[in-house]
Structure 1
Amino acid sequence: MVRTTAELLLTLGLVVVAFAAYLVVWSDVQNAAAQSTLRETFEARVAQASRTSPSTPAPRARPAARGRSRTPVATAPLAPPPTGGGLGLLSIPRLGQGWSRVIVEGVETDQLALGPGHFPGTAMPGEVGNFAVAGHRATNGEPFAHLDALVPGDEVTVQTLAATFTYVVDRSELVTPTATEVLEPVPGRPGATPRKALLTLVTCHPRWGSSERLIVSGHLVDRAPTTGGA
């Protein structure tokens, strides 16, 4: 009887492990399909926008002296897409040559299954304030699996229909899951008036857990017009 029970428990354990592995792999497959569709749609919209936009180039941010941030250029407010819709193309060279993901609007389970998600209510790309994005570190394509590899000085770009914004990483930190102050327009200072265009990337820590949140912060240094393909 004891042997039979042990064999049954072992079998059930193997079934659970196999099912969990299946879910992880399947979530990655679904995410890849979603990202492919989002990318095709975004590239088509970029191409359409480039054909219909004025030929006058958008202004660039002026380079500053060595060791200092460049001054962000004010941009017209961007309207967020519908929940789950593609907002822009996120590129992080530190995560690999050609690494990029389409950011979607929203950070609920359904949206993060599609890709990195923009926190509704935070600034849009290039705007003064805090442009905040969350992403999975495991499952669902694990876009932020190696976000901990980023170091100060790394570049992060966000391409929208109108412009491509370049941010530079300032720091990384670990916070509790309840530390929502990192999403404030001025992170850590609720109610303060923002004067800079900032970036906050959020993911779980450790990679296969969620006891903490890994926060990567940066600031805007450049803006250039988006042209032709993504």
Structure 2
Amino acid sequence: MSQDDSSVDQGPRPRRLRRVAAVSVLAVVAVAPWLVPWGDLLGRETAAAPGPSIVERATDRPASEAPEPRRPDAASVDALAAAVSGASGFDIPVSDEEVSAVSTEPGEYRELGGIEIPAIGLDVSYGEGVYEEALTRGPGHWPGTPMPGSLGNSVISGHRNTHTQPFKELDELSPGDEVVVDTGEKPTTFTVTETTIVPEAEYKEFVLRQPEDPRARQVTLFACHPEGNPIFRIVVQAEVSS
């Protein structure tokens, strides 16, 4: 698939991107050859299970109980770092081959609206497309999925440690956090329900899955995991409360 780099400018007007001090995290395999639940890195017991690993569901924690830290401590990371092999240091949420499978071909960049996530201080524009030229400018909406706020599951991809790094702190979101997405009109507020770590080979089917409830309005945010190595995807799912 060809890309015309000469048509790419320095990107759209940044809305505002404010961060707390970021801590780079390297998550590695601890339960199965390709699966690393956050619980193991944080010293909690986690049963081994195949397939995607649910980090936390909205119903897992009583409302009165404070959330646990979302990232492993440095000692845990250092102890497990040797298990990672082939780290390539790049961050491509959607490969060129997968881009070819979406419903539209890469074209002129088009800004769609904005994404705000108060819990991590994110306020950034997003556009149409998940091809690399689009994602260098910010998060991208996966063509063929519903627009944010419409019925169904709208899918948005973004980088964690390259370009504008919009989803760098996606792993710090907890159930109950708000995700506000607009399409240039009235914004829609979604509530985070769960975060899942998905193997690279399985993530596409996972993130594109549409809800069984035809009345549901959902948004799925995903990025490479761990940062800089796309062997997994971190997937945050949120929905509009009925």
Tell me the TM-score range normalised by the shorter chain.
Answer: 0.5 to 0.7
Comparing 116-125 with 158-167, greater Cα deviation is found at: 158-167
- After superposition, the C-alpha distances for 1:105-149 in whole angstroms (9 at most, x for unaligned) are 000111100100000001101111111100001111111111000
In structure 1, the partner of 2:152 is: 129
> Which protein shows a greater Rg?
1
In structure 1, the partner of 2:225 is: 205
Distance 2:155 2:126 in 1: 11
Alignment equivalent of 1:91, drawn from 116, 140, 150:
116
Deviation at 1:163, TM superposition (A): 1.1
Could you tell me whether the CA contact under 8 Å between 1:83 and 1:105 is conserved in 2?
no
Distance 2:148 2:214 in 1: 14
Instruction: Say which SS state the counterpart of residue 218 (structure 1) adopts.
Output: strand
Distance 2:178 2:213 in 1: 25
Q: Does 1:183 align with 2:198?
A: no
Q: Does 1:34 align with 2:39?
A: no
Could you tell me whether the CA contact under 8 Å between 1:104 and 1:117 is conserved in 2?
yes
Percentage of pairs with the same residue:
36
Q: Structure 2 vs 1, CA of residues 140 and 185 (structure 1 numbering), >3 Å: closer, same or farther?
A: same
Q: Structure 2 vs 1, CA of residues 164 and 84 (structure 1 numbering), >3 Å: closer, same or farther?
A: same
- After superposition, the C-alpha distances for 1:36-62 in whole angstroms (9 at most, x for unaligned) are 2x75xxxxxxxxxxxxxxxxxxxxxxx
CA RMSD of aligned residues (A): 2.5
Could you tell me whether the CA contact under 8 Å between 1:129 and 1:185 is conserved in 2?
no
Deviation at 1:34, TM superposition (A): 1.5
Could you tell me whether the CA contact under 8 Å between 2:174 and 2:194 is conserved in 1?
yes
In structure 1, the partner of 2:174 is: 151
Distance 2:108 2:119 in 1: 28
Letter in 2 for 1:92: I
Distance 1:199 1:111 in 2: 19
Alignment equivalent of 2:132, drawn from 109, 120, 123:
109
Report the TM-score when normalising by structure 1: 0.58
Instruction: Say which SS state the counterpart of residue 35 (structure 1) adopts.
Output: coil
Could you tell me whether the CA contact under 8 Å between 1:125 and 1:158 is conserved in 2?
yes
Higher-helix-fraction structure = 1
Letter in 1 for 2:218: L
Instruction: Say which SS state the counterpart of residue 178 (structure 1) adopts.
Output: helix
Deviation at 1:219, TM superposition (A): 0.3
Could you tell me whether the CA contact under 8 Å between 2:200 and 2:231 is conserved in 1?
yes
In structure 2, the partner of 1:167 is: 190
Q: Structure 2 vs 1, CA of residues 196 and 83 (structure 1 numbering), >3 Å: closer, same or farther?
A: farther
Report how many residues are paired. 145
In structure 2, the partner of 1:44 is: none
In structure 2, the partner of 1:70 is: none
Distance 1:194 1:166 in 2: 18
Could you tell me whether the CA contact under 8 Å between 2:155 and 2:208 is conserved in 1?
no
Instruction: Say which SS state the counterpart of residue 115 (structure 1) adopts.
Output: coil
Runs of at least 5 residues in structure 1 that lack an aligned partner in the other structure: 1-29, 40-66, 68-81, 223-230
Q: Structure 2 vs 1, CA of residues 181 and 168 (structure 1 numbering), >3 Å: closer, same or farther?
A: same
Report the TM-score when normalising by structure 2: 0.55
Runs of at least 5 residues in structure 2 that lack an aligned partner in the other structure: 1-7, 16-62, 64-106
